[in-house]
Amino acid sequence: MIKGLHHISMKCATKEEFEKAKSFYLDLLGFSIVRQWPQGIMIDLGNTQLEIFCNGNGVKDLGAIRHMAFATDDVEEIVAKVKDAGYEVFIEPKDIVIDSDPEFHARMAFCFGPLGEQIEFFKEC
């Protein structure tokens, strides 16, 4: 019955927050618009979509969903781009090993997005 994840949704409290979020995902990270309407936008993330509304109270607290992770070929390149745009990187690029069976090796980093959301940049090694 479930085919996969269709979209992630976020809400902005102001038009300024909406424009900043839109610019972050479209201009800085290079994603594209699927559709837009007066109160929101749907952005193509490659294998899912991100929906951003500009008609609600944005939430800056950490909730049950901790972060979203974007697969990338170059963690350092995207982190440099995010830093140059003035966003906080709170976990610098580093290699990790998940102690699983089999072991899982990856390179990752985290930043805060324009609405306070946590974003992970992730490369399987």
- Cα–Cα–Cα angle for 14, 64, 38, rounded to 5 degrees: 30
What pLDDT shows up at residue 64?
63
What pLDDT shows up at residue 39?
87
- Topology (CATH level 3) of domain 1-58: 2,3-Dihydroxybiphenyl 1,2-Dioxygenase; domain 1 (3.10.180)
**pLDDT for residue 65 is more than 80:** no
Least confident of 1-5, 12-16, 23-27, 70-74: 1-5
Structure tokens at 4: 């996969």
Structure tokens at 105: 């090796």
Task: Report the predicted TM-score, pTM, of the whole model to 2 decimal places.
Answer: 0.86
Q: Are strands 68-71 and 118-124 parallel, antiparallel or unpaired?
A: parallel
Domain layout of the chain by residue ranges = 1-58, 60-125
Q: What is the CATH number of domain 60-125?
A: 3.10.180.10
What pLDDT shows up at residue 1?
76
Q: What are phi and psi of 90, to 5 degrees?
A: -100, -10
**pLDDT for residue 77 is more than 90:** yes
